[in-house]
Amino acid sequence: MGTARQGKPAAGGVALLALTVCLLPVVARAQLRVGFYDTTCPNAEALVRQAVAAAFARDAGIAAGLIRLHFHDCFVRGCDASVLLTVNPGGGQTEREAGANSPSLRGFDVIDAAKAAVERSCPRTVSCADIVAFAARDSISLTGSVSYQVPAGRRDGRVSNATEASANLPPFFFTAKQLTNRFAEKGLSMEEMVVLSGAHTVGRSFCSSFVDRVWDQSVKPPQPKVDAGLSSSYADLLRALCPSDTTPATLITTAMDPGTPNVLDNNYYKLLPRGMGLFFSDNQLRVDPQMAALVSSFAANETLWKEKFVAAMVKMGRIQVQTGTCGEVRLNCSVVNPTSSSIELASSTAPAVDKDGIATS
């Protein structure tokens, strides 16, 4: 074997080292922090807030879409804006084309508008992943009159795969145990799962997500049914809205919370004991004793739920984030940067590097 040569490591070795660092747990890498763009783009959050407010003024339902967009981003590959990509460099369908996201996921145009405004003010500085997190926070503020600070510094990923969306997002037919396990995989507790499920108090759902709870489609012609956990009157209402031959292509929607569909409140928890949980997974929260106790607690105390909700949103926003020199800052949220570009996230905490990528400070 040859003698080890002193000096700078080869470029390939540096690249391998960088990849290894990016695969380390987040605790071993640069952390997110509140005020990340205070010096590099001080108006970033205000610009995102303006874009969200403008969209909300046109359509109050967009807020629920933006909250859900953040959730669906973070549960697949972490909060890296992979859900925004329209092309996967590796080929195949992207996350946003997966059945769990298409055509129900919305808010992409709002993120694009916010990104355009931020790029005009601070080019190549603010990641799409952070914009998604800011937009969700602003949507919660508009619908629930509750504010919280969002730690930032996320980087954007370069991979988006439809099969990973299907494998990681919790579907509407999950049992209590399956829900708990899926959230645990993301570092979230059973209580945090119940807390985050309260987001179903805003927004709408396609009939295909719950049609089998009110129609028995296994027989011809389909016959009315009332699934366990549904009140008969609610089933009648849903049956009147959704035809017996509903399929995923039937683009009919209904409010998940028929009482206050555009208000982030604790009405979701009040509806569950009345047999008005829209999805099978919603009803699981009242079937499991521990979850049912939390449902009762949040139904009785909206302030408590909101406090826990924003805390859970912040924690969710840290799932498998890429930070520091990992990932990139996309110039266009729907496509990765050209490989010839090297877009570094401007940050007062980012280390300076020499031409070989070695940290110099």
Comparing C-alpha atoms, which of 270, 294, 273 is closest to residue 283? 273
CB 213 within 8 A of CB 280: yes
**Is 82 marked within a binding site?**
yes
The answer on whether 20 is annotated among ligand-binding residues is no
201 known member of a binding site: yes
Q: Is 216 annotated as a binding residue?
A: no
Q: Pick from 316, 109, 321: which is nearest to 198 by CA?
A: 316
Q: Is 261 annotated as a binding residue?
A: no
- The reply, when asked if residue 347 is annotated as ligand binding, is no
Residue 314 assigned ligand-binding role: no
Alpha-carbon distance 260 to 333, whole Å? 32
Give bridge partners of residue 255 from the DSSP assignment: 204
Q: Could you tell me what percentage of the chain is helix, strand and coil, using 3-state DSSP and rounding each to the nearest 5?
A: 45, 5, 50
Rounded CA-CA distance 264/68 in Å is 13
227 marked ligand binding residue: no
Helices vs. strands in the chain: H and E counts, helices first: 13, 4
Is 349 known as a binding-site position? no
Q: Was 143 annotated as part of a binding site?
A: no
The reply to whether 72 belongs to the active site is yes
Q: Indicate the angle between helix axes 289-300 and 190-197, nearest 10 degrees.
A: 50
Distance CA 6, CA 3 (A): 9
Which candidate in 49, 68, 70, 72 is catalytic?
72
Q: Which residues are annotated as a binding site for Ca(2+)?
A: 73, 76, 78, 80, 82, 95, 201, 257, 260, 265
Provide the annotated binding site: 73, 76, 78, 80, 82, 95, 170, 200-201, 257, 260, 265
- Residues placed in the known binding site for heme b: 200
Catalytic site positions: 72
Enumerate the known binding-site residues for substrate. 170
